[in-house]
Structure 1
Amino acid sequence: MVTIKEIASAVGVSSATVSRVLNYDPTLSISTRKRQAIIETAEALNYATPRNRNRAAAQAVGSGLKIALVHFLDPAQELADPYYVGVRLGIESRCQALNSDVVKVFLTGNTPEATILEGASGVVAVGHYYGDELEWLRRHSRHLVFADYAPAGDMEDTVLSDVSQAMIRLLEAVHAMGYRRIGFIGWIDAFYGPDNIHSERRCHTYIDWMTKTGLFDPELCLVDPMTPDSGYRLAKAMLSKPNPPKILITCNDNMALGAYRAINEMGLRIPDDVAVASFNDIPVAQFLGPPLSTVKIPAELIGETAVDLLVERLSGREVAKKVVFGTEIIWRASTPAPTGAANPAEHMVPASSASEVPG
């Protein structure tokens, strides 16, 4: 395998210069002739960057694999939630690039035959799994990766976004704009049940942050088991209270759609009477009237990375890995700053890079 040192010796430059040229460092000051000589020498010697070598290795490992995609939603439920469609498409596109076969399994209703998982090279599980379903996955999977979820423990690879940190940034931004009556509607995490209805990460973070700032009002935090009309019902209930919120944060964009409907039916205007912000940035968010402010979560990238983690496992990695992606707040017309406060654009939070944490 050709090294950077060998290329540097052939051209008569330092190894650092070769590395910066091959990695397209725009800050490097070097003549066009030298740059061309480095690139031509690297090509002549068939040099491959570490990134390309890793891609080639993944291609070799992934080719011909059979990967089971286990989904916690049935096809109709998934179709109603574009975020999870994005996660699945990321998995499928990465498998296609690696020439791997995908078998879809839906863990809704009756438990599928375990032989489907046992006959696969590995399993990518999309969504949240608890109790018997989680143990079933662990028992019958050769290698198991969770996409958009991290179960307790450090047994499996996981990939997800830090929605708790995103919620903190969102609350800090709207607070800086002058909002104090900040409402939240979300769902009950099925794992914790009726004894801990505020355990979902966004909800728990909302309560913690609002309590620390002295703004928490239990009347402004409503949750229930997720149903297609949860956003509509919860928003209507909250906005019917004597002292309703001036801004409503919903757990995801689907709930925001329901909230829009409730707000319109009540004769209220967005954002004049109540502003709205949400999570996921599904495609329709930018076309609502007014367009919806929302936290963008990289759904397809989560799916692609889950497949990459599985390939790493199949290549011999033994230590569990947790990949956490950053998020970005997309400010739109549903959340303008109140009169005299800062402009929302000044509080734009750029997406942070992904971090990898040993499991």
Structure 2
Amino acid sequence: MARSQRVTLRDVADRLGLSANTVSRALAGKDQVSEATRDMIRAEAKRLGYVPNSHARSLVSGRTMVVGLVITNPSNPFYAALISAVERQCRAAGYSVLLLVTEDSEDNEERAVQQLLRTSVDGVLGVATECRSDVWDGLSGAGIPVVQLSRDIPGRGMDFVGIDVESAIHEAVVRVARTGVRRIWLLEEDLRVSTVAARTAGFRRALDDLGIAHAHSLVLKVPTRRTSGATLPWRPDDAYALAANLITPGNHPDLVVTANDYFALGVYQAIRECGLAVPDDVRVLGYGDHPFAGYLQPALSTIRLPAEEVGTAAVDLLLRRIADPDRPRTSTRLHAGLVERQSTG
């Protein structure tokens, strides 16, 4: 057999003196083949370098065994962990993952959807830019099930798995601001997406529960660089520039809540430069529990996001949707808990 030729089921069968049907059943793990015969066939297939023909298999099963995963920015620690969980869960189920990155660009998102349509994936897990939610309708119209991740697009009839962001922010702010806090700032991203809206809503609800007038607190928008290329979605210096212009010894909040831990890095620097200290003068609460959070001085209190749980739940839901396209829409929001460290006193 020439090395340039693809090894087939028939080649494996001929070497062992078995039928191609027996070899096929053995490699598929069917019960009709004894364990001893199955082991012998698998060993010979491996020795010959046999690789299943996925195209032929998809013609029989009607499935490509490929799942699309659309992410805004894989350098975001949350999405990096989510990607690993999705790939691991899909691999266990016999699926491959096609990863596409949008950088929160509307054009990139549309190109990603078109690529998924051309690839004929069995299903899609996607984080929407929320610029044009109708772009995802093309997948649904083609009969490709979609599970939205992290950002929910109401009214589109798609399954959703994410985090209860509003409750997470509300609970954390109330907890760390119970005593000695009358003025709170939220440093938020300047994106018009559901997660930003949820954080803002949770923050304002916390102010109400604490009896703090909204006029005494601020929601400040930090410029984001998500659409400028495949870099970190946030930069500490963006938050630093904003905070350094506002925080002075005579004019500062009691607590700063940041939309991510990178913003907290910039806030730390701005607080120190004006002669104040964390947490004695200003408490700081982050979001995301990124790997460096516990190593800052003082260690950063932050909200830990269940990225792996989101990825695992999303794959499970998508596989159920693939098996049963008519099942009712499901929306799942997982809990994110506060990790209290020294930055909040």
TM-score (norm 2): 0.69
Deviation at 1:191, TM superposition (A): 5.2
Calculate percent identity across the aligned residue pairs. Answer: 28
Separation in structure 2 between the aligned mates of residue 238 and residue 308 of structure 1, nearest angstrom: 46
C-alpha distance in 1, partners of 2:330/2:112? 28
* C-alpha separation in 1, matches of 2:193 and 2:170: 23
CA distance in 2, matches of 1:236, 1:154: 42
Which ranges of 4 or more aligned residues in structure 1 deviate by more than 6 Å?
none
Cα distance between partner residues in 1 of 2:247 and 2:285: 15
- Matched residue, 2:150: 148
Report what 1:207 is aligned to.
Answer: 204
Choose the corresponding residue for 2:310, options 279, 302, 309: 302
Equivalent residue in structure 2 for 1:183, among 182, 185, 190: 185
Query: Residues of 1 paired with 2:245 and 2:217: CA distance?
Result: 10
Letter matched to residue 190 of structure 1: R
Q: Deviations over 1:266-320 (max 9, x none)?
A: 3432112211112111111111111110111101211121111100101105211
- Asked if 1:316 corresponds to 2:324, the answer is yes
How big is each residue's C-alpha offset from its partner over 1:11-55, in whole Å with a ceiling of 9 and x where there is no partner? xxxxxxxxxxxxxxxxxxxxxxxxxxxxxxxxxxxxxxxxxxxxx
Match of 1:217, SS?
helix
Alpha-carbon distance in 1 for matches of 2:249, 2:328: 51
Q: Is the 8 A contact 2:160 2:332 kept in 1?
A: yes
Structure-2 residue corresponding to 1:225 = 223
The structure number with the bigger radius of gyration is 2
Structure-2 residue corresponding to 1:117: 116
What does 1:317-336 align with in structure 2 at a 5 Å threshold?
Answer: 318-336=327-345
Rate the CA distance shift 1:237–1:92 in 2: closer, same or farther, 3 A.
farther
Quick one: which amino acid aligns to residue 337 of structure 2? E
Map residues 276-287 of structure 1 onto 2, 5 A cutoff.
276-287=284-295
Letter of the 1:123 partner, please give it: V
Give me the TM-score of the superposition, normalised by structure 1.
0.67
The within-5 A match list for 1:119-138 is 119-126=120-127, 128-132=128-132, 134-138=133-137
Question: Is contact 1:271-1:335 (8 Å) kept?
Answer: yes
- In 1, Cα distance between equivalents of 2:244 and 2:78: 24
Aligned residues: CA RMSD = 2.5
1:241 Cα offset (Å): 8.0
* Residues 114 and 217 of structure 1: CA distance in aligned 2, closer, same or farther (over 3 Å): closer
CA shift, 1:334, in A, is: 0.7
Structure 1 SS opposite 2:331: strand
How far has the Cα of 1:199 moved from its partner? Answer: 6.4
- Partner AA of 1:243 in structure 2: N
The SS at the match of 2:298 is: coil
Where 1:222 maps in the other structure, the secondary structure is strand
Greater CA deviation, 248-257 or 209-218? 209-218
Which residue is equivalent to 1:139?
138
Residues 222 and 239, structure 2, Cα contact 8 Å, conserved in 1: no
Give the paired residue count: 263
| Partner Cα separation in structure 1 for residue 258 and residue 200 of structure 2 | 9
Residue matched to 1:164:
166
1:102 is aligned to 97
1:242 Cα deviation (Å)? Answer: 4.3
Shift in Å at residue 68 of structure 1?
0.7
Does structure 1 conserve the Cα–Cα contact (< 8 Å) formed by 2:182 and 2:212? no
Offset at 1:154? 5.4
What is the CA distance between 1:208 and its match in structure 2? Answer: 3.9
Letter in 2 for 1:178: G
Give deviations 1:64-92, integer Å, cap 9, x for gaps: 7200111123xxxx32x212212222212
Q: Partner of 1:200: helix, strand, or coil?
A: helix
1:156 CA displacement = 0.7
**Separation in structure 2 between the aligned mates of residue 164 and residue 153 of structure 1, nearest angstrom:** 20
Q: Give the unaligned 5+ runs of structure 2.
A: 1-60, 226-234
Where 2:284 maps in the other structure, the secondary structure is: strand
Which whole-Å deviations, capped at 9, do the CAs of 1:91-141 have from their partners, x for residues lacking one? 122112222101111224544265531210011003x42243x32222135
- Cα separation, 1, equivalents of 2:249 and 2:223: 21
Deviation, structure 1 residue 211: 4.6
CA distance in 1, matches of 2:171, 2:285: 12
The SS at the match of 2:191 is coil
In 2, distance between residues paired with 1:191 and 1:325? 18
User: Could you tell me how far 1:146 is from its partner in structure 2?
Assistant: 1.0
Consecutive unaligned residues of structure 1, counting only runs of 5 or more, are 1-60, 193-197, 337-359
Change (3 A) 1:219 1:270: same
8 Å contact 1:222–1:238 — kept in the other structure?
A: no
CA–CA distance in structure 1, aligned partners of residues 334 and 193 of structure 2: 24
